[in-house]
Structures are given as C-alpha cells and as structure tokens.
Chains A and B, each alone.
Chain A
Amino acid sequence: MTGSAGLTRATLLKDLRLEWRSKDATNAMLFFALLVVVIFSFSFDPTAEESRRIAGGLIWVAFLFASVVALNQTWARELRNQVLDAYRVSPAPPNSLFLAKVFGNFLFVTVLEALMTPLFAVFYNLRAIGPAYQLLVVAGLGTWALVVNGTFFAAISLRTRSREIMLPLLLFPISIPALLAMVEATSAILTGEFSAKFWVVLLVTYDLVFTMASLFLFERVLHAE
C-alpha cells in the first residue's frame, strides 16, 4: 500500500505545484470568496445578538458557493490534457488519484475559509461564546463532507452538458444533512446555547459513509467516462 499512498502524495504535490505556479484559478476564486462575504454582509445586517444565531447558516452557505467554484475545476486540467485516459490505462489504483484530488480540494477550500472567516467575524462582530477551538473541528469535518462528495460528483459531471451547473445540482441535495449539521454545530458553538455534540457525530458519520462510498465507486465512475 506504500505504492498507492506515494502515488496520492505525488499527485497532490503535482497539483499544488501547478496551481502555485499558474495561480490563474486561485486568484479568481479568492476574489470570488471575498465578494460572497461582502454581498452577504450587505444583504443581512442584523444586530450583534441576532447575527450570532444566523451567522452559522450564512457562513456555510457562503463556503458552499465558494467551494463549488473550486470543485468545478477539479478535473479541468486532466480533461485538457487527456490525462484521464492515461490513468484509465495505467495500473495505478484510481483511488490514489481520487484521494489526491480530494486532499487538494480540501486544502484549497480550507484556504478560502481561512480567508472568509475573519471577514465575516469583522462584518458581523462575531465572538464565539462556546468553545471556539471546536469551530476548527466543525470546519474540518464540514469541509471534508463537501469536498469528498464534490470531487466525486465533479467526476460524474465530466461527460454532461452544462458540466458546471450539474455539479451543484447533484451536490446540494445530497449535502443537506451535512449542511444542517455544519450550520447547527456552528450556531451551537457561537451562541453557546446548546451542545454541538450530536451534530459533530452526525458529520463524522456522514464523512465516513460518503468517503467509503466514493472510494468504493470511484473506479467505476472513472472508467465510465
């Protein structure tokens, strides 16, 4: 299994290096994430107390839109250069490719979130009443939930017309329980009014179920394109 782990790492590093060099998609997405925060802050201008209650929902919807933009270009480079065909023919385990893409997306979306969160905190004068370190756990689990399914559905959407709209069409309904959990857990931590424990457990369950399902089915999807 060292082979496939090494392959995952190699693919991930290659993606990161290419992205760092080109920075084309990255800059646009960063700016998009910023715009989303500003627009949301304009549209919803609550008092400090209200904002703590609704901020969870607002932040995660904003993250969701920003991550869709990131997810849509997951396979773009592979498509442009016919790399997928090479992968199909090679004996390399497809899951290594998948995991590398998921990790890459995870890192990237995390960067987006790290950029957007302080802005939200500023615009909404947010201060967590509950234990703030838990927000990191929730953010990690929630991001993984979006990114693992998003990468999988991005692969499914490759051969569809209107590829860019198909990804969110498929991703949003399936993500609903995870989104509810993310929002509720964040609200729980921000307001300190109730416990986030159930939601965190739900997120862990969701992540486990769909990571396994994606790993199980990715090979078929790859060969089906």
Chain B
Amino acid sequence: MKRAFPIFAVLTAALLAYGLYQALWVAPTDRLQGDVYRIIYYHVPSAWTMFSFFALNFVSSIVYLIRRNPRADAVAVASAEVGVVFNTVVLVTGPLWARPVWGIWWTWDIRLTSTLVLWLIYVSYLLLRRFSSGGQMPVLAAALAVFGALDMPLVYFSIWFFRTQHPQPVIGGGGSIDPRMLQVWLLNWIAFQCFGLLVFAARYRLEVLSQEVEEMQALESLLEVRGSR
C-alpha cells in the first residue's frame, strides 16, 4: 500500500499535465467564447470531483451513525475537507469564466447558487468539528452531514423553481458539445479525481494517525495518574 502511493502520485501528475496540455492546446477554440472557455476544463471536472467526495462524506457519516467505527469518521472528515477544497475551486473559477464571457461575476442561477449553498453547509460542518469539544463530536458532525445531504435536493428544487418563475440568462447554457471537448473534459475529470483521491488518502492517514496519538495520550495521562498514586 505504501509503495503504491508514490507510483499512483506520479501517474496522477502525468495525467494532470496531459490534461492541462490538452485543455490549453489540443481542444478546439470555441467559436463564440474564444479561448477563455477553456476554464471549464478545470471548473467542471472539479465540480464532479467535489460531488464524489461529498457523496462519500454522506455515506461514511451514515456508516458512522450506525456502527460508530472511527475509521468511518476519518473518511467523513477527510472527504468533507477535500470536497470543500474542490468546491472552493469551482466557486472561484466559475465567476472568472462568467465575467469575461457574460459580463457579470455572479448570478443566482441553479448551478452557482447550489454550489455556494453546498460550500456553506460543508464549511459549517467543518466548523462544528473544529469548535466541538468532547469525544462525541463525530456523532454530532455525522448528524449534521445527514441533514446537509437531505437538504441538497430541496436546495436544488427550490432554486430551480425560483429560476423558472424569475428567469434570467443561463450561464454555461446548452448547445451541442464538440466530442473533442468532451474528451478533454473526461480526461481532466479523471486526472482531478485521481488527484483528489491522493489528497484524500493523505488526509485520511493523518486522521487515523491522530486518532491513535489521541488514544495514546489519553492512555498516558491515565497511567500517570495511576503511577503518581
């Protein structure tokens, strides 16, 4: 397992580099938007990766609530953090694309808004974990994660209906996709997904290690008390 990590890391770096090359030079220039549209080769794959990690957080939170397995909690916190990182990337690259193409930094359309709400929910999750004291914090965090996941379909629905009632120009709207563009999209998504998994693995290991250290520290203070008697 330890040897696999560097090999996988090198492969991922290669994929990312290749994806970048494809995004900048091989993918055809968009007729309407020019070269700026290439931002979506980072923006969209990051969004897909983000969703995958938030889904992982949801599943591991449920597992933790049922089984109280500390490994599940480690998966939960690691996936939440990595998800938030990718979420931040999506929220930053989105306006950077919208501004030159549509002239506005932000609009309350379905995708941008739901991405922002997702970010808010998971940042509040991470804040709860940080500010919570006591050994039962993972339970509380898992409960919050379940609430957040239940909320998301409602968020999506409400914004969708709001937009149909108060329509505004859609950013990144439809239109047929050049198959060459789709290829570069998929390639970059696989690259970022692998990168995300690597970072996740590192964060997971950090969490498992610190769980063990905490246990040992607790044990030590117990022994000290016993010893001093």
- Do chains A and B make direct contact within the complex (CB under 8 angstroms)? yes
B interface residues, tally (CB under 8 Å): 30
Given the interface contacts A169-B124, A202-B161, does A209 sit within 8 Å of B143 by beta carbon?
Answer: no
Closest partner residue, chain A, to B143 (CB atom) = A217
Q: Which one of B124, B139, B154, B159 contacts A173 once the chains associate, using CB atoms below 8 Å? A: B124
**In contact, A177 and B158 (Cβ under 8 angstroms):** yes
Residue B197 CB within 8 A of the other chain: no
**In contact, B124 and A221 (Cβ under 8 angstroms):** no
Residue B168 CB within 8 A of the other chain: no
**In contact, A221 and B157 (Cβ under 8 angstroms):** no
Residue A176 CB within 8 A of the other chain: yes
A: contact size bracket: 35 or more
For A162, the chain B residues whose CB sits under 8 A away are 131
Given the interface contacts A177-B157, A220-B65, does A170 sit within 8 Å of B144 by beta carbon?
Answer: yes
**In contact, B124 and A184 (Cβ under 8 angstroms):** no
For A153, the chain B residues whose CB sits under 8 A away are 144
Chain B's nearest CB lies how many Å from the CB of A82?
Answer: 16
**In contact, A160 and B143 (Cβ under 8 angstroms):** no
**In contact, A159 and B134 (Cβ under 8 angstroms):** yes
Residue B208 CB within 8 A of the other chain: no
Closest partner residue, chain A, to B127 (CB atom) = A169
**In contact, A177 and B151 (Cβ under 8 angstroms):** yes
**In contact, B120 and A173 (Cβ under 8 angstroms):** yes
Question: Chain A interface secondary structure, helix, strand, loop or mixed?
Answer: helix
For B146, the chain A residues whose CB sits under 8 A away are 213, 217
**In contact, B124 and A170 (Cβ under 8 angstroms):** yes
Residue B117 CB within 8 A of the other chain: yes
**In contact, B157 and A174 (Cβ under 8 angstroms):** no
Residue B155 CB within 8 A of the other chain: yes
Residue B147 CB within 8 A of the other chain: yes
For A225, the chain B residues whose CB sits under 8 A away are 134, 136
Chain B's nearest CB lies how many Å from the CB of A206?
Answer: 6
Residue A149 CB within 8 A of the other chain: yes
Q: Which one of A159, A178, A184 contacts B132 once the chains associate, using CB atoms below 8 Å? A: A159
Residues of A within 8 A of B (CB): 149, 152-153, 156, 159-162, 166, 169-170, 172-174, 176-178, 180-181, 184, 194, 198-199, 202, 205-206, 209-210, 213, 217, 220-221, 223-225
